[in-house]
């Protein structure tokens, strides 16, 4: 077999090694345009888990690599004169040059031909190869040559960055967030061998311009960085090696294989440097390719297996990298945070590290985070314990004169079980049991302001006395038997009205017994949905009056809070999104115009609703569709409602148009809450695939939301909050007298379970290489 590899970076060399080990008879050549020791970059970084993988696949190169490595365990975050260190991370760094020399040496030893100073312009003269590996890096010539086939998507990110180096020794992966006269600069720095560290500098484009970096040469910009970070460098210089400032390209390729050619490493996909995974991905691609080649009957079958098997892992890493890079791009959002909360945000930005996970690894750090959170709560006039604070989830929150005992919320969820809009026994038990389960705030399902405002025939309403009486009974039960507060969500279905019950076909039009529907513009939801009538001013006045009347009934029922539903493509959302609003009058066109009617309703409700009671608005912070609402729009929408007196923005997403493309995942809507809260400076509630109390605490402690709503988890577990309270030893959680024995038992058991769990986790955690190295070099204690 003949294998030609274009590119002698980590992906090309490591795949040559693994393939040659597997097929000693194969003729393998690596073509590299540079000279053998002519390499850019400073150090590369690997996690312990990646090194385990290398050890399994080629012990000799693993041994040589690890002999050369610098190990560290801590991440250090420097911000506004403070430093926070978190241990247990298990990372190591090595010089990129040494790594490549080791891989070259190992490849030669195995009989791979290394063809340096060979710039391959055309793969035609490699035509006799059975397999051509395209490992030609981020600017891959061959990916571009076959662009129509590979279909790469290149997302050039806004921040500017440059790879530099220093002689400054470091004993931790170090992030420095530095305020300057031009704006914020960030350094991502780590040591890779004695007396050598990698420094990646990053800044936003405006700060870059203000600092005049565009007109400085490599040496001058290194000097500028040395000035900015001089206080930390302690006289050590900043070094350069092709250290130009660039924008990071996030590359994703639709296809990785073309005939017998396969893309590997940066050529096929990149991952932002802030998660330190570029070289790891490149070498793990090589492992995946070799594994696929091992068993497959033909090269074509192997390449198909490589692409299919590897894609998910690469996309997961890219997703984590995306989340991380977005955090760094928007660092100014957090610039006025308490430093410990800021550091917690850095640690948890990419979702892999959480509140509970940090509690195990760095309990003192998490205690400090909790204390800072409790201090903020105390500053709002609550008499909470700051020395031994409760977890953020169990800290109270006040909105106007309504006080919530904790931050867990039952999200609004239609039960589709009302008759003529009248809630039944099911609703009393449903809402009542969730209140008894300890949640701080319960939202009603979308309760409709008129018969023709309903989504389905099973939706609850609040337009007549009978409905009002049943809602009053539910509210009274909750007030009499729990510490929960209850918020009435009022809505109008708009063009999504007159549809079937969820279990009969969500959003599908009713075949019989439907009613006329209205919307901002006459656009049906499905092509076969009812054509909505465009609202005229008379209809707007009628609906506004219906909202106000329903709110007045809500006040008569005793609801503690009122939410206006402006999300999910229903009537008011249909005004806000340009995808559903094509009006040419004062209610269409610009965002300000599109917001006019929803704001008008909000203002009418705000006047009708008692001034001591809070109001929220639910928005779709993105339509997940081209031309639709984006996170930036959501900030403007939130600001407009805040000016009109909203106390909380309930940040949901999507459901505007049926062909949207949501990106699901754990806590997938939380970044929008984060953006709205920290850019529009308004309190937010986040929601969406949040399933554990650990996630709730992670979100709250990082300042990404003020309240956390859970929908589906509450459908199966009314006692979610009680269980979480037991886990975090939040004794003060409300429990009905009738249930006290259950509370005592779960608190007792949880204390023991938690201890056992922590011991198990600590025992099961293998020592990091940094810990092992520290133990091996520790002087023996005197007898
Ligand atoms: C300027 C720069 C500095 C970097 N510094 C660091 C750092 O300090 N630390 C870190 O962790 N990561 C660094 N990275 C990122 C990291 O190098 C990559 O993520 C990783 O090397 C990817 O490995 P690869 O083998 O896919 O590609 P590369 O390492 O880019 O290797 C591709 C190789 O292909 C060769 N090549 C390209 N085209 C041809 C051709 N037509 N014919 C022959 N040869 C060709 C190139 O010369 C190169 O050697 C840096 C990247 C850049 C661009
Ligand atoms: C059965 C069901 C009914 C829902 N009804 C409503 C509703 O009436 N009003 C609303 O704003 N959101 C509604 N939602 C959306 C939820 O409030 C929540 O935003 C969504 O389920 C995501 O949260 P989760 O992942 O915790 O379930 C509903 C969700 C479900 C599962």
Q: What is the pLDDT of residues 386-417, one digit of tens each?
A: 999 999 999 999 999 999 999 999 999 999 99
The number of beta carbons lying within 10 Å of the beta carbon of residue 100 is 23
Let me know: does 705 contact 673? Beta carbons within 8 Å: yes
Which of 214, 207, 204 is closest to 159 using CA atoms? 204
The number of beta carbons lying within 10 Å of the beta carbon of residue 585 is 11
DSSP 536: -
DSSP 499: B
Which positions ≥6 away from 14 have C-beta within 8 Å?
Answer: 58, 61, 103, 282, 283, 286, 287
Q: Of all protein residues, whose CA lies closest to atom 31 belonging to ligand 2?
A: 712
Q: Of all protein residues, whose CA lies closest to atom 7 belonging to ligand 1?
A: 41
Let me know: does 14 contact 290? Beta carbons within 8 Å: no
Let me know: does 51 contact 66? Beta carbons within 8 Å: yes
Classify residue 426 by burial, with Cβ atoms within 10 Å: 0-12, 13-18, 19+: exposed
Q: Which ligand is nearest to the CA of 664?
A: 2
Structure-block tokens of residue 420? 């003529």
DSSP bridge pairs for 178: 185
C-alpha distances in Å from residue 459, one per residue of 413, 428, 496, 502, 561: 10, 15, 13, 11, 20
Q: Which ligand is nearest to the CA of 96?
A: 1
DSSP 636: H
The number of beta carbons lying within 10 Å of the beta carbon of residue 387 is 7
Let me know: does 3 contact 19? Beta carbons within 8 Å: yes
Is residue 56 helix, strand or coil?
helix
Ligand 1 pocket, Cβ-based, cut-off 6 angstroms: 6-12, 31-34, 40-45, 96, 118-120, 135-138, 141, 163, 198, 242, 265-267, 278-279, 282
Rounded Cα–Cα distance for residues 536 and 689 (Å): 38
Residue of 412, 459, 699 to mutate, ligand 2, most atoms within 8 A of C-beta: 412
Per-residue pLDDT for 722 more than 70?
yes
pLDDT of 191-217, one tens digit each?
988 889 999 999 999 999 999 999 999
Residue whose structure tokens are 């970044």: 671
Q: What is the pLDDT of residue 605?
A: 98
Task: Give the nearest ligand 2 atom to 689 CA.
Answer: 25
The number of beta carbons lying within 10 Å of the beta carbon of residue 172 is 21
Tell me the mean pLDDT in the region 447-462. Answer: 98
The number of beta carbons lying within 10 Å of the beta carbon of residue 17 is 27
Q: What is the pLDDT of residue 766?
A: 67
Rounded Cα–Cα distance for residues 697 and 682 (Å): 19
One-character DSSP codes across 64-106 = HHHHT-EEE-EEEEEETTEEEEE----EEEEEHHHHHHHHHHH
The number of beta carbons lying within 10 Å of the beta carbon of residue 748 is 11
Rounded Cα–Cα distance for residues 585 and 595 (Å): 13
- φ/ψ (deg, to 5) at 362: -140, 65
Which of 376, 416, 415 is closest to 397 using CA atoms? 376
Q: Of all protein residues, whose CA lies closest to atom 23 belonging to ligand 2?
A: 688
Which positions ≥6 away from 392 have C-beta within 8 Å?
Answer: 355, 370, 373, 407, 696, 697, 700, 701
Q: Could you tell me the pTM of the whole model?
A: 0.91
Q: Which ligand is nearest to the CA of 714?
A: 2
Q: In what order do the strands lie in the sheet with 43-47?
A: 43-47, 91-95, 70-72
Per-residue pLDDT for 529 more than 90?
yes
Per-residue pLDDT for 694 more than 70?
yes
The number of beta carbons lying within 10 Å of the beta carbon of residue 341 is 18
The two beta strands, 131-134 and 261-263, are: parallel
Average pLDDT of the residues of the chain: 94
- Return the higher-pLDDT residue of 414 and 351: 414
d(CA 315, ligand 2 centre) in Å: 28
Tell me the mean pLDDT in the region 344-368. Answer: 92
Left, alpha or beta for 413 (phi > 0: left; psi -120 to 50: alpha)?
Answer: beta
d(CA 710, ligand 2 centre) in Å: 8
The two beta strands, 533-534 and 518-519, are: parallel
d(CA 630, ligand 2 centre) in Å: 20
pLDDT class for 124, splitting at 50, 70, 90? confident
Q: Of all protein residues, whose CA lies closest to atom 3 belonging to ligand 1?
A: 41
Let me know: does 10 contact 280? Beta carbons within 8 Å: no
Q: Which residues are catalytic?
A: 570
Span between the terminal Cα atoms of the chain, in Å: 62
Q: What is the pLDDT of residue 776?
A: 63
Q: What is the pLDDT of residue 730?
A: 96
Task: Give the nearest ligand 2 atom to 411 CA.
Answer: 17
Rounded Cα–Cα distance for residues 335 and 178 (Å): 10
pLDDT of 651-681, one tens digit each?
999 999 999 999 888 899 999 999 999 999 9
Rounded Cα–Cα distance for residues 770 and 51 (Å): 12
Per-residue pLDDT for 770 more than 80?
no
Tell me the mean pLDDT in the region 677-691. Answer: 97
List % helix, strand, coil for the chain (3-state, nearest 5): 45, 20, 35
Tell me the mean pLDDT in the region 561-580. Answer: 98
One-character DSSP codes across 174-243 = EEEEEE-SS-EEEEEEEEEETTEEEEEEEE-HHHHHHTTGGGS-HHHHHHHHHHHTHHHHTTPPEE-SS-
pLDDT class for 782, splitting at 50, 70, 90? very low
The number of beta carbons lying within 10 Å of the beta carbon of residue 285 is 29
Q: What is the pLDDT of residue 47?
A: 83
Long-range own/partner contacts, residues 764-767 (CB < 8 A, 24 or more apart) = 765/88, 766/48
Classify residue 193 by burial, with Cβ atoms within 10 Å: 0-12, 13-18, 19+: middle
pLDDT class for 48, splitting at 50, 70, 90? confident
Residue of 4, 5, 7, 44 to mutate, ligand 1, most atoms within 8 A of C-beta: 7
Q: Which ligand is nearest to the CA of 712?
A: 2
Beta strands in 102-169 (DSSP E): 113-115, 131-134, 152-166
Structure-block tokens of residue 505? 């076909």
d(CA 309, ligand 1 centre) in Å: 24
Rounded Cα–Cα distance for residues 710 and 721 (Å): 10
């Amino acid at each position: 077999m003949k294998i030609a590899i274009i590119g002698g970076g980590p992906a090309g060399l490591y795949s040559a090694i693994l393939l040659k080990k597997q097929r000693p008879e194969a003729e393998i050549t690596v073509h590299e345009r540079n000279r053998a020791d002519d390499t850019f970059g400073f150090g590369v970084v690997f996690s312990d888990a990646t090194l385990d993988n290398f050890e399994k696949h080629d012990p000799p190169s693993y041994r040589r690599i690890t002999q050369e490595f610098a190990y560290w365990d801590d991440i250090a975050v420097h911000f506004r004169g403070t430093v926070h260190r978190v241990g247990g991370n298990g990372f190591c760094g090595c010089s990129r040059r040494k790594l490549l020399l080791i891989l070259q040496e190992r490849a030669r030893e195995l009989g791979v031909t290394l063809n340096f100073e060979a710039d391959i312009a055309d793969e035609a003269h490699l035509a006799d190869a059975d397999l051509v590996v395209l490992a030609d890096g981020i600017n891959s010539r061959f990916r571009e040559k076959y662009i129509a086939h590979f279909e790469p998507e290149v997302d050039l990110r806004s921040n500017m960055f440059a790879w530099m180096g220093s002689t400054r020794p470091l004993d931790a992966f170090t992030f420095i967030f530095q305020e300057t006269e031009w704006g914020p600069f960030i350094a991502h720095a780590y040591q890779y061998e004695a007396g050598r560290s990698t420094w990646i500098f990053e800044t936003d484009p405006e700060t870059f311009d203000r600092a005049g970096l565009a007109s400085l040469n490599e040496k001058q910009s290194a000097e500028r960085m040395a000035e900015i970070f001089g206080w930390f460098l302690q006289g050590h210089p900043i070094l350069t090696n092709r250290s130009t400032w660039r924008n990071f390209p996030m590359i994703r390729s639709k296809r990785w294989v073309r005939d017998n050619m396969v893309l590997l490493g940066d050529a096929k996909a990149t991952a932002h440097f802030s998660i330190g995974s570029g070289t790891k991905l490149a070498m793990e691609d090589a492992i995946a390719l070799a594994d696929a080649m091992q068993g497959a009957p033909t090269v074509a079958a192997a390449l198909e297996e490589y692409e299919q098997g590897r894609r998910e892992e690469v996309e997961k890493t890219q997703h984590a990298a995306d989340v991380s890079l977005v955090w760094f791009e928007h660092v100014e959002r957090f610039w006025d945070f308490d430093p410990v909360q800021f550091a917690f945000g850095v640690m948890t930005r990419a979702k892999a590290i959480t509140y509970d996970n940090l509690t195990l690894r760095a309990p003192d750090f998490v205690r400090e985070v909790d204390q800072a959170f409790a201090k903020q709560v105390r500053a709002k006039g609550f008499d909470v314990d700051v020395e031994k604070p409760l977890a953020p989830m169990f800290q109270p929150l006040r909105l106007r004169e309504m006080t919530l005992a904790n931050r867990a919320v039952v999200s609004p969820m239609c039960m589709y079980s009302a008759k003529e809009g009248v809630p039944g026994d099911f609703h009393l038990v449903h809402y009542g049991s969730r209140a008894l389960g300890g949640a701080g705030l319960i939202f009603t399902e979308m309760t409709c302001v008129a018969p023709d405002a309903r989504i389905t025939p099973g939706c609850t309403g609040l337009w007549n006395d009978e409905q009002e009486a049943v809602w009053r009974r539910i509210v009274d039960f909750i007030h009499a038997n729990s510490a929960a507060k209850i918020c009435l969500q009022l809505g109008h279905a708009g063009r999504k009205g007159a549809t079937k019950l969820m279990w009969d076909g969500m959003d599908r039009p009713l075949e019989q017994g439907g009613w006329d529907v209205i919307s901002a513009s006459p656009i049906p939801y499905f092509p076969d949905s009812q054509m909505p009538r465009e609202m005229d001013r008379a209809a707007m006045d009628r609906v506004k009056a219906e909202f106000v009347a329903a709110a007045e009934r809500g006040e008569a029922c005793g609801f503690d809070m009122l939410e206006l539903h402006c999300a999910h493509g229903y009537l008011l959302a249909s005004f806000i999104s340009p995808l559903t609003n094509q009006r040419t009058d004062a209610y269409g066109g610009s965002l300000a115009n599109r917001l006019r009617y929803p704001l008008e309703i909000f203002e009418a409700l705000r006047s009708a609703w008692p001034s001591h009671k809070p109001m929220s608005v639910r928005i779709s912070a993105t339509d997940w569709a081209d031309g639709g609402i984006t996170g930036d729009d959501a900030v403007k929408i939130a600001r407009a409602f805040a000016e009109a007196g909203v106390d909380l923005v309930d940040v949901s997403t999507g459901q505007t148009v049926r062909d949207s493309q949501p990106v699901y995942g754990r806590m997938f809507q939380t970044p929008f809450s984060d953006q709205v809260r920290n850019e529009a400076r308004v309190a937010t509630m986040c929601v969406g695939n949040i399933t554990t109390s650990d996630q709730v605490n992670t979100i709250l402690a990082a300042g990404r939301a003020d309240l956390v709503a859970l929908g589906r988890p509450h459908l199966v577990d009314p006692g979610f909050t009680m269980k979480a309270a037991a886990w975090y030893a939040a004794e003060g959680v409300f429990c009905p007298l009738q249930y006290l024995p259950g509370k005592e038992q779960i608190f007792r058991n949880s204390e023991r379970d938690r201890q056992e769990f922590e011991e198990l986790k600590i025992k099961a955690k293998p020592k990091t290489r940094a810990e092992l190295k520290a133990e091996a070099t520790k002087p023996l204690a005197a007898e």
